[in-house]
Amino acid sequence: MFHRVVVTGMGAISPLGNDVPTTWQALKEGKSGTDTITAFDSSTCKTHIAAEVRGFDPEVIIEKKDVRRIDRYAQFALYTAKEALQDSELDLDKEDKDRIGVIWGSGMGGILTIEEEISEFGRGDGTPRFTPFYIPKGILSMAAGLVSIQYGLRGPNFTTSSACASSAHAIVSACNYIRLGKASVILTGGSDADITYSGIGGFNAMHALSTRNDEPKTASRPFSASRDGFVLGEGGVCLVLEDLEHALARGAKIYAELVGTGVNADAYHMTAPHAEGEGASRVMQMAMEEAGITPADVDYINAHGTSTALGDVAEVKAIERVWGQDAERLNISSTKSMTGHLVGAAGAIEALATVMALKEGIVPPTINHAEGDEDEKINYRLNFTFNKAQKRDLRYALSNAFGFGGHNVCLLFKKWNG
């Protein structure tokens, strides 16, 4: 017997706001979180813009003496887990903590810590002098570990890392543990904090980032012909996934039901998607088949939509492969146009946007599209929800996440009508 899985709590820290209500309101209003980089002097880089988290005080959740021991990406995890648990109204004193886990996603982990430590080593005499916190701060698994320690959660605990699909993979893993009865509740999602010299410099070396430095607010332009790369973002999102019976027994509020998941690989290229969207089309079909629905039941797709030349075209082709002419009925949007690309946290923040779209019947827009800015390779009969949110009674919605290495994930959520 498979257990049904629902979302009962959410937490967020993003370029649009440091909680879920602020982030969601900004998404509905079509606000951009991109601006000039303040985290470091980017004058030597090709890109001087990013979607930073602003006004974050780690001492809100971490004692002052411990802040220097925890990388920024893990601080984001602790921060969002606190909001998500409060939102869920779980009384941990009454719960079996052996059945509550933490499954987290991160693409880069403690990249700031690694960058700082290696830079310091390079300035020395070759003697390996490192802080004792170098390894625990830098490793990808520490965010999940710290959240479990903070709340004494002894259930499944690990990290998924699959580049930009990392947190979506984490959500799939969490869903499966609950479905199989191996946990009642799992805190899941992801975080990344990659706006550093090496993060910006590395993506610049790949020609992946927008260099629209004089127009930061409009730099992320998914599905527009003038797009010139993605905008690097940072942040974190935590979802509380819960066994439906467990949630109903405690009278929990329910945001949405996670009814289908798809996971596969392009097996094609290190960084480019399959040009015809073969893997992406299959992964969406897998999610729908798992849920027992057809493409006709889906009303909205939160696209991976990075604002890159190859990625946007491939995803549109994938959608058309699955829906055919019926694709014109769908609402499609890329919230990366507002948040930037949160790398390992991208799947989680887009899952949050998809859940809230279902709950409120509002599709967030794809901003920064101008009339006449069309790519001849993209079918503009499709509704990309350009520039303004649209009201729509949604039944089922998909959230796509694709990562370097050919990793594809699709999450299928159903509106909760209980």
Catalytic position from the list 164, 175, 238, 410: 164
Closest CA to 334 of 387, 281, 259, 375: 387
Given a contact cutoff of 8 angstroms between Cβ atoms, the answer to whether 331 and 303 are in contact is: no
Catalytic residue among 3, 169, 274, 304: 304
**Type of residue at 251:** G
For residue 233, list its beta bridge partners. 51
Distance separating alpha carbons of residues 99 and 153, to the nearest angstrom = 8
Is residue 45 annotated as part of the catalytic site, yes or no?
A: no
**Sign of torsion over alpha carbons 149, 346, 273, 299:** positive
Catalytic: which of 3, 169, 274, 341? 341
For the sheet containing 256-265, what is the strand order? 157-160, 100-105, 185-192, 235-243, 5-13, 256-265, 407-415, 396-403, 298-302, 331-333
> Do the Cβ atoms of 396 and 414 come closer than 8 Å?
yes
- Say whether 413 sits in a helix, a strand or coil: strand
Question: Contact at 8 Å (CB) between 52 and 39?
Answer: yes
Q: In angstroms, what CA-CA distances link 299 with 179, 307, 361, 363?
A: 25, 22, 11, 10
Element (H, E) at 159: strand 157-160
Q: Is 169 a catalytic residue?
A: no
Q: Angle, to 10 degrees, between the axis of helix 72-88 and the axis of helix 142-151?
A: 40
How far, CA to CA in Å, does 236 sit from each of 10, 11, 81, 118, 394? Answer: 11, 8, 9, 25, 26
133 contacts 71 by C-beta, under 8 angstroms: no
Coil, strand or helix: which one is 191?
strand
Q: Would you name the residues annotated as active-site residues?
A: 164, 304, 341
